[in-house]
Structure 1
Amino acid sequence: MIIPVLTASRPGGEERHHGDRAASADESITAWALAARGGDPAAVDRFVRALHRDVVRYVAHLSADPQAADDLAQDTFLRALGSLHRFEGRSSARTWLLAIARRAVIDSLRHAAARPRASEAADWRSAVELAQPRGLPGFDDGVALLDLLAALPGDRREAFVLTQMMGLSYAEAALIGDCPVGTVRSRVARARATLIALLAEAEAQARVRATDLRSAA
Protein backbone atom coordinates (compact mmCIF):
# COMPACT_ATOMS: atom_id res chain seq x y z
CA MET A 1 0.00 0.00 0.00
CA ILE A 2 1.34 3.46 -0.89
CA ILE A 3 1.04 5.97 1.91
CA PRO A 4 -0.03 9.41 0.65
CA VAL A 5 1.33 11.26 3.66
CA LEU A 6 4.76 9.83 2.94
CA THR A 7 5.00 9.65 -0.82
CA ALA A 8 2.37 11.63 -2.62
CA SER A 9 2.64 15.29 -3.53
CA ARG A 10 -0.26 17.65 -4.04
CA PRO A 11 -1.24 18.87 -7.50
CA GLY A 12 0.52 22.13 -8.23
CA GLY A 13 -2.54 24.34 -7.86
CA GLU A 14 -3.63 22.77 -4.59
CA GLU A 15 -0.11 22.95 -3.17
CA ARG A 16 0.15 26.65 -4.01
CA HIS A 17 -3.28 27.28 -2.48
CA HIS A 18 -2.27 25.46 0.69
CA GLY A 19 0.97 27.44 0.81
CA ASP A 20 -0.89 30.73 0.38
CA ARG A 21 -3.26 29.89 3.23
CA ALA A 22 -0.38 28.87 5.49
CA ALA A 23 1.52 32.06 4.67
CA SER A 24 -1.57 34.15 5.41
CA ALA A 25 -2.09 32.38 8.74
CA ASP A 26 1.56 32.90 9.67
CA GLU A 27 1.29 36.61 8.84
CA SER A 28 -1.70 36.95 11.17
CA ILE A 29 0.02 35.03 13.98
CA THR A 30 3.18 37.11 13.59
CA ALA A 31 1.09 40.29 13.71
CA TRP A 32 -0.52 39.07 16.95
CA ALA A 33 2.92 38.34 18.42
CA LEU A 34 4.10 41.84 17.59
CA ALA A 35 0.93 43.34 19.08
CA ALA A 36 1.37 41.15 22.16
CA ARG A 37 4.88 42.51 22.49
CA GLY A 38 3.30 45.93 22.73
CA GLY A 39 1.12 44.82 25.64
CA ASP A 40 -2.15 43.90 23.90
CA PRO A 41 -3.72 41.14 26.09
CA ALA A 42 -6.17 40.10 23.35
CA ALA A 43 -3.24 39.60 20.97
CA VAL A 44 -1.45 37.46 23.58
CA ASP A 45 -4.53 35.22 23.82
CA ARG A 46 -4.83 34.88 20.03
CA PHE A 47 -1.11 34.14 19.67
CA VAL A 48 -1.19 31.39 22.30
CA ARG A 49 -4.41 29.83 21.02
CA ALA A 50 -3.20 29.85 17.40
CA LEU A 51 0.01 27.96 18.13
CA HIS A 52 -0.79 25.86 21.19
CA ARG A 53 -1.71 22.71 19.21
CA ASP A 54 1.42 22.95 17.03
CA VAL A 55 3.64 23.30 20.07
CA VAL A 56 2.05 20.33 21.87
CA ARG A 57 2.41 18.08 18.81
CA TYR A 58 5.99 19.16 18.20
CA VAL A 59 7.25 18.67 21.76
CA ALA A 60 5.42 15.34 22.08
CA HIS A 61 7.18 13.96 19.01
CA LEU A 62 10.54 15.57 19.75
CA SER A 63 10.68 14.36 23.33
CA ALA A 64 9.03 10.99 22.56
CA ASP A 65 7.09 11.48 25.81
CA PRO A 66 3.39 12.33 25.28
CA GLN A 67 2.90 12.57 29.04
CA ALA A 68 5.29 15.52 29.20
CA ALA A 69 3.81 17.40 26.23
CA ASP A 70 1.51 19.72 28.18
CA ASP A 71 4.23 20.68 30.67
CA LEU A 72 6.73 21.28 27.87
CA ALA A 73 4.19 23.38 25.95
CA GLN A 74 3.52 25.47 29.07
CA ASP A 75 7.25 25.94 29.58
CA THR A 76 7.58 26.98 25.93
CA PHE A 77 4.92 29.67 26.17
CA LEU A 78 6.27 30.97 29.48
CA ARG A 79 9.69 31.33 27.88
CA ALA A 80 8.22 32.92 24.76
CA LEU A 81 6.07 35.44 26.61
CA GLY A 82 9.02 36.29 28.83
CA SER A 83 11.21 37.07 25.82
CA LEU A 84 8.50 38.46 23.54
CA HIS A 85 9.97 41.94 23.89
CA ARG A 86 12.94 40.70 21.85
CA PHE A 87 10.82 39.33 18.98
CA GLU A 88 11.18 41.62 15.96
CA GLY A 89 9.31 39.64 13.30
CA ARG A 90 12.38 38.76 11.24
CA SER A 91 11.04 35.22 11.03
CA SER A 92 7.46 34.06 11.45
CA ALA A 93 6.21 33.85 15.02
CA ARG A 94 5.56 30.13 14.46
CA THR A 95 9.20 29.47 13.55
CA TRP A 96 10.42 31.60 16.46
CA LEU A 97 8.15 29.79 18.93
CA LEU A 98 9.03 26.29 17.75
CA ALA A 99 12.72 27.11 18.12
CA ILE A 100 11.96 28.02 21.73
CA ALA A 101 10.02 24.75 22.11
CA ARG A 102 13.05 22.86 20.81
CA ARG A 103 15.27 24.44 23.46
CA ALA A 104 12.67 23.63 26.14
CA VAL A 105 12.73 19.96 25.13
CA ILE A 106 16.53 19.85 25.06
CA ASP A 107 16.70 21.41 28.53
CA SER A 108 14.10 18.93 29.80
CA LEU A 109 16.03 15.96 28.42
CA ARG A 110 19.24 17.21 30.00
CA HIS A 111 17.49 17.60 33.34
CA ALA A 112 15.99 14.11 33.06
CA ALA A 113 19.42 12.66 32.24
CA ALA A 114 20.86 14.32 35.34
CA ARG A 115 18.01 13.12 37.53
CA PRO A 116 16.66 9.88 36.03
CA ARG A 117 13.21 8.79 37.10
CA ALA A 118 11.75 5.30 36.95
CA SER A 119 8.74 4.74 34.73
CA GLU A 120 6.51 1.78 34.08
CA ALA A 121 6.65 0.56 30.48
CA ALA A 122 2.95 -0.30 30.52
CA ASP A 123 2.05 3.26 31.54
CA TRP A 124 4.24 4.66 28.76
CA ARG A 125 2.60 2.42 26.16
CA SER A 126 -0.83 3.47 27.37
CA ALA A 127 0.10 7.14 27.09
CA VAL A 128 1.35 6.64 23.55
CA GLU A 129 -1.89 5.00 22.50
CA LEU A 130 -3.93 7.80 24.06
CA ALA A 131 -1.83 10.40 22.25
CA GLN A 132 -1.95 8.58 18.91
CA PRO A 133 -2.94 10.96 16.08
CA ARG A 134 -6.14 9.91 14.34
CA GLY A 135 -7.42 10.48 10.84
CA LEU A 136 -4.07 10.85 9.12
CA PRO A 137 -4.48 9.96 5.43
CA GLY A 138 -3.08 6.62 4.39
CA PHE A 139 -2.58 5.10 7.81
CA ASP A 140 -4.77 2.19 8.85
CA ASP A 141 -6.08 2.24 12.41
CA GLY A 142 -3.87 -0.74 13.25
CA VAL A 143 -0.65 1.12 12.43
CA ALA A 144 0.63 3.22 15.33
CA LEU A 145 2.28 6.24 13.75
CA LEU A 146 4.00 7.20 16.97
CA ASP A 147 5.61 3.77 17.15
CA LEU A 148 6.93 4.17 13.60
CA LEU A 149 8.25 7.67 14.29
CA ALA A 150 9.89 6.50 17.51
CA ALA A 151 12.05 4.15 15.44
CA LEU A 152 13.64 7.11 13.64
CA PRO A 153 16.78 8.91 14.82
CA GLY A 154 15.81 12.12 16.63
CA ASP A 155 17.03 14.54 13.95
CA ARG A 156 15.15 12.73 11.17
CA ARG A 157 12.00 12.44 13.28
CA GLU A 158 12.11 16.17 14.00
CA ALA A 159 12.57 17.12 10.34
CA PHE A 160 9.75 14.80 9.25
CA VAL A 161 7.30 16.05 11.89
CA LEU A 162 8.00 19.71 11.13
CA THR A 163 7.70 19.48 7.35
CA GLN A 164 5.40 16.54 6.64
CA MET A 165 3.01 16.67 9.61
CA MET A 166 3.04 20.32 10.67
CA GLY A 167 3.39 21.80 7.20
CA LEU A 168 6.44 24.00 7.75
CA SER A 169 8.73 24.74 4.84
CA TYR A 170 12.19 23.23 4.65
CA ALA A 171 13.64 26.69 5.24
CA GLU A 172 11.58 27.15 8.42
CA ALA A 173 12.57 23.70 9.67
CA ALA A 174 16.20 24.58 9.00
CA LEU A 175 15.87 27.72 11.12
CA ILE A 176 14.33 25.78 13.98
CA GLY A 177 16.90 22.99 13.79
CA ASP A 178 19.81 25.40 13.20
CA CYS A 179 21.06 23.49 10.16
CA PRO A 180 21.25 23.95 6.36
CA VAL A 181 18.12 23.46 4.24
CA GLY A 182 19.85 20.64 2.38
CA THR A 183 20.33 18.79 5.64
CA VAL A 184 16.60 19.02 6.37
CA ARG A 185 15.77 17.70 2.90
CA SER A 186 18.14 14.78 3.38
CA ARG A 187 16.73 13.95 6.81
CA VAL A 188 13.15 14.02 5.53
CA ALA A 189 14.01 11.80 2.56
CA ARG A 190 15.74 9.26 4.80
CA ALA A 191 12.91 9.38 7.34
CA ARG A 192 10.34 8.80 4.59
CA ALA A 193 12.28 5.83 3.22
CA THR A 194 12.61 4.31 6.69
CA LEU A 195 8.92 4.78 7.48
CA ILE A 196 7.84 3.21 4.20
CA ALA A 197 10.10 0.22 4.87
CA LEU A 198 8.78 -0.14 8.43
CA LEU A 199 5.20 0.09 7.22
CA ALA A 200 5.81 -2.52 4.53
CA GLU A 201 7.31 -4.81 7.15
CA ALA A 202 4.32 -4.31 9.45
CA GLU A 203 1.91 -5.05 6.62
CA ALA A 204 3.82 -8.21 5.65
CA GLN A 205 3.67 -9.42 9.24
CA ALA A 206 -0.07 -8.68 9.33
CA ARG A 207 -0.60 -10.73 6.15
CA VAL A 208 1.33 -13.64 7.65
CA ARG A 209 -0.78 -13.52 10.81
CA ALA A 210 -3.98 -13.38 8.76
CA THR A 211 -2.84 -16.41 6.72
CA ASP A 212 -2.00 -18.34 9.87
CA LEU A 213 -5.41 -17.56 11.33
CA ARG A 214 -7.18 -18.74 8.18
CA SER A 215 -5.11 -21.92 8.17
CA ALA A 216 -5.94 -22.60 11.79
CA ALA A 217 -9.68 -22.04 11.27
Structure 2
Amino acid sequence: MIPALPATRPGRAVADASATAWALAARGGDPDAADHFVRALHGDVLRYVTYLSGDPQAAHDLAQDTFARAFGSLRHFEGRASARTWLLSIARRAVADSLRRAAVRPRITDAVDWRTAQERTQPPGLPGFDEGVALHGLLEHLPDERREAFLLTQVVGLSYEEAAGFVGCPIGTVRSRVSRARATLERLVREAETPSVLAA
Protein backbone atom coordinates (compact mmCIF):
# COMPACT_ATOMS: atom_id res chain seq x y z
CA MET A 1 0.00 0.00 0.00
CA ILE A 2 1.11 3.56 -0.71
CA PRO A 3 1.48 5.57 2.52
CA ALA A 4 -1.67 7.40 3.51
CA LEU A 5 -2.17 10.79 1.93
CA PRO A 6 -4.19 13.73 3.21
CA ALA A 7 -7.76 13.23 2.08
CA THR A 8 -9.29 15.73 -0.31
CA ARG A 9 -11.80 17.76 1.68
CA PRO A 10 -15.37 17.21 0.50
CA GLY A 11 -15.96 20.95 0.64
CA ARG A 12 -12.93 21.80 -1.52
CA ALA A 13 -14.98 23.84 -4.02
CA VAL A 14 -16.58 25.82 -1.19
CA ALA A 15 -13.18 26.36 0.46
CA ASP A 16 -11.70 27.51 -2.85
CA ALA A 17 -14.56 29.93 -3.41
CA SER A 18 -14.09 31.36 0.10
CA ALA A 19 -10.33 31.73 -0.32
CA THR A 20 -10.84 33.44 -3.66
CA ALA A 21 -13.40 35.82 -2.15
CA TRP A 22 -10.97 36.63 0.68
CA ALA A 23 -8.18 37.29 -1.83
CA LEU A 24 -10.40 39.69 -3.75
CA ALA A 25 -11.45 41.44 -0.54
CA ALA A 26 -7.80 41.64 0.57
CA ARG A 27 -7.01 43.25 -2.77
CA GLY A 28 -9.45 45.97 -1.77
CA GLY A 29 -7.52 46.59 1.46
CA ASP A 30 -9.46 44.48 3.99
CA PRO A 31 -6.89 43.28 6.59
CA ASP A 32 -9.23 40.64 8.06
CA ALA A 33 -9.75 39.17 4.60
CA ALA A 34 -5.98 39.10 4.09
CA ASP A 35 -5.61 37.14 7.34
CA HIS A 36 -8.34 34.67 6.32
CA PHE A 37 -6.70 34.27 2.90
CA VAL A 38 -3.34 33.33 4.45
CA ARG A 39 -4.89 31.00 7.02
CA ALA A 40 -6.98 29.22 4.40
CA LEU A 41 -4.09 28.45 2.04
CA HIS A 42 -0.95 28.40 4.19
CA GLY A 43 -1.07 24.61 4.72
CA ASP A 44 -1.42 23.87 1.01
CA VAL A 45 1.44 26.20 0.13
CA LEU A 46 3.69 24.78 2.86
CA ARG A 47 3.06 21.18 1.76
CA TYR A 48 3.65 22.06 -1.88
CA VAL A 49 6.92 23.94 -1.41
CA THR A 50 8.21 21.25 0.97
CA TYR A 51 7.70 18.47 -1.54
CA LEU A 52 8.74 20.54 -4.54
CA SER A 53 11.97 21.83 -3.02
CA GLY A 54 12.86 18.67 -1.12
CA ASP A 55 14.07 20.95 1.68
CA PRO A 56 11.82 21.04 4.77
CA GLN A 57 14.23 23.46 6.46
CA ALA A 58 13.57 26.06 3.77
CA ALA A 59 9.83 25.38 3.45
CA HIS A 60 8.64 28.09 5.86
CA ASP A 61 10.85 30.70 4.18
CA LEU A 62 9.55 29.63 0.78
CA ALA A 63 5.95 29.81 2.00
CA GLN A 64 6.59 33.29 3.42
CA ASP A 65 8.20 34.34 0.13
CA THR A 66 5.16 32.99 -1.74
CA PHE A 67 2.72 35.07 0.30
CA ALA A 68 4.95 38.15 0.09
CA ARG A 69 4.96 37.82 -3.70
CA ALA A 70 1.21 37.19 -3.72
CA PHE A 71 0.43 40.32 -1.71
CA GLY A 72 2.81 42.27 -3.93
CA SER A 73 0.82 41.31 -7.02
CA LEU A 74 -2.63 40.95 -5.45
CA ARG A 75 -3.86 44.05 -7.28
CA HIS A 76 -3.59 42.03 -10.53
CA PHE A 77 -5.61 39.06 -9.20
CA GLU A 78 -9.07 39.06 -10.75
CA GLY A 79 -10.38 35.70 -9.58
CA ARG A 80 -10.43 34.06 -13.03
CA ALA A 81 -8.73 31.03 -11.47
CA SER A 82 -9.13 30.03 -7.83
CA ALA A 83 -6.88 31.83 -5.38
CA ARG A 84 -5.32 28.48 -4.46
CA THR A 85 -4.31 27.71 -8.05
CA TRP A 86 -2.99 31.26 -8.47
CA LEU A 87 -1.04 31.03 -5.22
CA LEU A 88 0.47 27.63 -6.05
CA SER A 89 1.75 29.00 -9.35
CA ILE A 90 3.50 31.73 -7.36
CA ALA A 91 4.88 29.09 -4.98
CA ARG A 92 6.24 27.13 -7.93
CA ARG A 93 8.13 30.20 -9.18
CA ALA A 94 9.41 30.94 -5.66
CA VAL A 95 10.85 27.41 -5.41
CA ALA A 96 12.34 27.61 -8.91
CA ASP A 97 13.98 30.96 -8.10
CA SER A 98 15.31 29.58 -4.83
CA LEU A 99 16.82 26.55 -6.57
CA ARG A 100 18.42 28.78 -9.20
CA ARG A 101 19.97 30.99 -6.52
CA ALA A 102 21.25 27.97 -4.63
CA ALA A 103 22.80 26.53 -7.79
CA VAL A 104 24.97 29.59 -8.45
CA ARG A 105 26.31 30.14 -4.94
CA PRO A 106 28.59 27.83 -2.95
CA ARG A 107 26.96 26.21 0.05
CA ILE A 108 29.02 25.38 3.10
CA THR A 109 26.98 23.93 5.91
CA ASP A 110 27.15 21.45 8.71
CA ALA A 111 23.37 20.95 8.62
CA VAL A 112 21.91 17.47 8.78
CA ASP A 113 20.41 15.86 5.68
CA TRP A 114 16.82 16.74 4.77
CA ARG A 115 15.33 13.48 6.05
CA THR A 116 16.69 14.14 9.52
CA ALA A 117 15.50 17.74 9.29
CA GLN A 118 12.03 16.55 8.28
CA GLU A 119 11.90 14.15 11.21
CA ARG A 120 12.66 17.03 13.57
CA THR A 121 9.93 19.33 12.22
CA GLN A 122 7.18 17.50 14.07
CA PRO A 123 6.92 14.94 16.87
CA PRO A 124 7.31 11.36 15.57
CA GLY A 125 4.30 10.20 17.57
CA LEU A 126 1.83 12.03 15.31
CA PRO A 127 -0.53 9.79 13.30
CA GLY A 128 0.79 9.33 9.76
CA PHE A 129 4.25 10.74 10.60
CA ASP A 130 6.21 7.63 9.55
CA GLU A 131 4.13 7.28 6.38
CA GLY A 132 4.81 10.92 5.49
CA VAL A 133 8.57 10.46 5.87
CA ALA A 134 8.38 7.26 3.80
CA LEU A 135 6.42 9.07 1.08
CA HIS A 136 9.13 11.75 0.89
CA GLY A 137 11.71 9.07 0.16
CA LEU A 138 9.58 7.31 -2.43
CA LEU A 139 8.77 10.51 -4.31
CA GLU A 140 12.46 11.08 -4.98
CA HIS A 141 12.34 8.16 -7.42
CA LEU A 142 9.72 9.79 -9.66
CA PRO A 143 10.56 11.94 -12.69
CA ASP A 144 9.85 15.63 -12.00
CA GLU A 145 6.68 15.86 -14.14
CA ARG A 146 5.10 12.76 -12.58
CA ARG A 147 6.06 13.84 -9.07
CA GLU A 148 4.48 17.28 -9.56
CA ALA A 149 1.26 15.83 -11.02
CA PHE A 150 1.05 13.37 -8.12
CA LEU A 151 1.69 16.06 -5.50
CA LEU A 152 -0.81 18.51 -6.97
CA THR A 153 -3.65 15.99 -7.18
CA GLN A 154 -2.96 13.55 -4.34
CA VAL A 155 -1.26 15.73 -1.72
CA VAL A 156 -2.34 19.31 -2.34
CA GLY A 157 -5.77 18.21 -3.52
CA LEU A 158 -6.23 19.92 -6.88
CA SER A 159 -8.63 18.28 -9.31
CA TYR A 160 -7.12 16.81 -12.47
CA GLU A 161 -8.61 19.71 -14.40
CA GLU A 162 -7.07 22.29 -12.04
CA ALA A 163 -3.69 20.52 -12.15
CA ALA A 164 -3.79 20.45 -15.95
CA GLY A 165 -4.43 24.19 -16.06
CA PHE A 166 -1.74 24.75 -13.47
CA VAL A 167 1.04 22.90 -15.31
CA GLY A 168 -0.21 23.82 -18.79
CA CYS A 169 -0.93 20.41 -20.29
CA PRO A 170 -4.01 18.35 -21.27
CA ILE A 171 -6.00 16.72 -18.48
CA GLY A 172 -5.28 13.29 -19.99
CA THR A 173 -1.57 13.93 -19.58
CA VAL A 174 -2.05 14.69 -15.89
CA ARG A 175 -4.11 11.51 -15.43
CA SER A 176 -1.40 9.49 -17.18
CA ARG A 177 1.38 11.02 -15.07
CA VAL A 178 -0.51 10.34 -11.84
CA SER A 179 -1.30 6.79 -12.90
CA ARG A 180 2.34 6.09 -13.77
CA ALA A 181 3.50 7.73 -10.54
CA ARG A 182 1.16 5.49 -8.53
CA ALA A 183 2.36 2.40 -10.39
CA THR A 184 5.99 3.31 -9.65
CA LEU A 185 5.25 4.00 -5.98
CA GLU A 186 3.35 0.73 -5.60
CA ARG A 187 6.25 -1.17 -7.19
CA LEU A 188 8.76 0.52 -4.89
CA VAL A 189 6.66 -0.32 -1.83
CA ARG A 190 6.41 -3.98 -2.92
CA GLU A 191 10.16 -4.13 -3.47
CA ALA A 192 10.80 -2.57 -0.07
CA GLU A 193 8.52 -5.09 1.65
CA THR A 194 9.95 -8.19 -0.10
CA PRO A 195 13.14 -8.56 2.01
CA SER A 196 11.17 -8.37 5.26
CA VAL A 197 8.71 -10.98 3.98
CA LEU A 198 11.54 -13.30 2.96
CA ALA A 199 13.29 -12.79 6.31
CA ALA A 200 10.10 -13.66 8.18
TM category, shorter: 0.7 to 0.9
Whether contact under 8 Å (1:80, 1:97) holds in the other structure is yes
Q: Does 1:23 align with 2:13?
A: yes
Structure 1 residues 40, 74: closer, same or farther in 2, change over 3 A? same
2:151 to 161, 186, 211: 161
Whether contact under 8 Å (2:152, 2:163) holds in the other structure is yes
How many residue pairs are counted as aligned between the two chains? 197
- Percent identical residues: 66
Aligned to 1:107: 97
2:112 and 2:195 map into 1 onto residues whose CA distance is 23
Aligned to 1:184: 174
Tell me the CA shift for residue 120 of structure 1. Answer: 5.1
1:156 and 1:120 map into 2 onto residues whose CA distance is 32
User: Secondary structure of the residue that 1:191 maps to in structure 2?
Assistant: helix
1:70 to 37, 53, 60: 60
1:78 and 1:141 map into 2 onto residues whose CA distance is 32
Matches within 5 A, 1:128-143: 128-131=118-121, 135-136=127-128
Aligned to 1:55: 45
Aligned to 2:79: 89
Q: CA RMSD in A?
A: 2.6
TM-score (norm 1): 0.81
Amino acid of the structure 2 residue aligned with 1:150:
E
2:172 and 2:106 map into 1 onto residues whose CA distance is 35
Whether contact under 8 Å (1:160, 1:191) holds in the other structure is yes
Whether contact under 8 Å (1:173, 1:184) holds in the other structure is yes
2:131 and 2:157 map into 1 onto residues whose CA distance is 22
1:97 and 1:44 map into 2 onto residues whose CA distance is 13
- Which runs of no fewer than 5 residues in structure 1 stay unpaired? 212-217
- Which runs of no fewer than 5 residues in structure 2 stay unpaired? none
Matches within 5 A, 1:24-39: 24-39=14-29
2:132 and 2:160 map into 1 onto residues whose CA distance is 30
1:130 and 1:4 map into 2 onto residues whose CA distance is 19
2:85 and 2:75 map into 1 onto residues whose CA distance is 16
1:142 and 1:77 map into 2 onto residues whose CA distance is 25
Whether contact under 8 Å (2:70, 2:90) holds in the other structure is yes
Higher relative contact order (Cα pairs below 8 Å, separated by 6+ residues): 2
TM-score (norm 2): 0.88
